[in-house]
Amino acid sequence: MKWLIGVDLRETATGAIEFAKWMAENTTTGATELVPVHVLEESYLLQVLRHEHMNQVEAKAEQDVRALVERVGLTSALENVRITRGISVEESLVREFDAARAHALLIGREAPAGERNIVRLGRVARRIVRRLPCPVVVAPPNLKASDVGAGPVILASDLSETCGPAARFAARFAASIGRPLVLAHVVPSEADMLRYVPTTTIDQFYSQVGLDRQRDVEAWQRSHGLEGASAIIAHGDPVARLSAIAEVEGAPIVVCGSRLLGTVERVFVTSVATDLSCWAGVAIAIVPPT
């Protein structure tokens, strides 16, 4: 697989490049080609070009990116380092992604895992995740290669057809790193039910739902060529439950599909994939439905 890595040069934002290092070290089949890209945004250039020439700015940026790549230990990607210019970081990354014919875009988010910052994704990650022009992997900024889990790849699915491309991406990624694939399906629970219905009734209800969903999961797996994958069926808040499953299983990544909700739709319907990319302590891959 070929990955484009959006490089953030801040000392506190090395999660994406660290995850790339982990992938390079753990690929067991095929080849993983990594292309680190740093964007010089127009607003930044308007400030620095008052004092420096463009070639000096680009040379300094390339030097800093190479130093970061070497410090992390990702020397195999040094020859692919690219510095580009653009009006916005997100538009430039998408342009470079298309030019490189990459398979996925790897970026970092703003808020570290375990902290409750008001801003979670950050401007660039938020715009890319909402637009989702390609499979996008969002890594916590404080993620270290040594902390990536040794467990299976988790595929989070609501059993809809929009998750089909996510299933193919997850299966391919799991095969490339020699890890098993586990399908996780969470049945959302209603908070009001817990308040007004006896616990024994709730348990019986979810027990029956679990049996029904088990049959649905098996049918969905067959239709997407995942018959050999293990499955976990849970109920509760999808984001909290999927985060807990990833932690317990030691998953290196959780792969989700996307419904590509519009701005108005997001007012009424939450996006599990987006919320996971905001809060999870592991890398989250979001794969568009086409």
Predicted TM-score (pTM) of the model is: 0.88
> What are the phi and psi torsion angles at 208 (to 5°)?
-70, -40
Indicate whether 16 and 90 sit together in one domain: yes
The confidence score (pLDDT) of residue 235 equals 84
Indicate whether 98 and 14 sit together in one domain: yes
Indicate whether 173 and 36 sit together in one domain: no
Indicate whether 31 and 162 sit together in one domain: no
Report yes or no: 221 and 231 within 8 Å, Cβ to Cβ. yes
The confidence score (pLDDT) of residue 195 equals 55
Indicate whether 254 and 117 sit together in one domain: no
Strands 104-108 and 82-86: unpaired
Among the candidates 142, 174, 190, a domain finishes at 142
Parent domain of 220:
149-290
Structural domain count of the chain: 2
For residue 43, which of 79, 85, 84 has the smallest C-alpha distance? 85
Identify each DSSP E strand in the chain by its residue range: 2-6, 33-41, 82-86, 104-108, 136-139, 153-156, 181-188, 230-236, 253-257, 283-287
Written as one string, the DSSP assignment of 156-190 is E--SSGGGHHHHHHHHHHHHHTT--EEEEEEEE--
The confidence score (pLDDT) of residue 117 equals 81
Indicate whether 134 and 161 sit together in one domain: no
The confidence score (pLDDT) of residue 197 equals 54
The confidence score (pLDDT) of residue 115 equals 80
Among the candidates 115, 142, 169, a domain finishes at 142
> CA–CA separation, 178 vs 171, rounded Å?
10
For residue 65, give the CATH number of its domain: 3.40.50.620
The confidence score (pLDDT) of residue 118 equals 80
Indicate whether 159 and 121 sit together in one domain: no
pLDDT by residue for the chain (290 residues), tens digit each?
A: 899 999 999 988 899 999 999 999 999 887 789 999 999 999 999 999 888 999 999 999 999 999 999 999 998 899 999 999 999 999 999 999 999 999 999 999 999 887 878 888 999 999 999 989 999 999 999 999 999 999 999 999 999 988 999 999 999 999 999 999 999 999 887 555 455 555 555 455 455 555 578 888 999 999 999 998 999 998 889 999 999 999 999 999 999 998 765 543 443 335 899 999 999 999 999 999 87
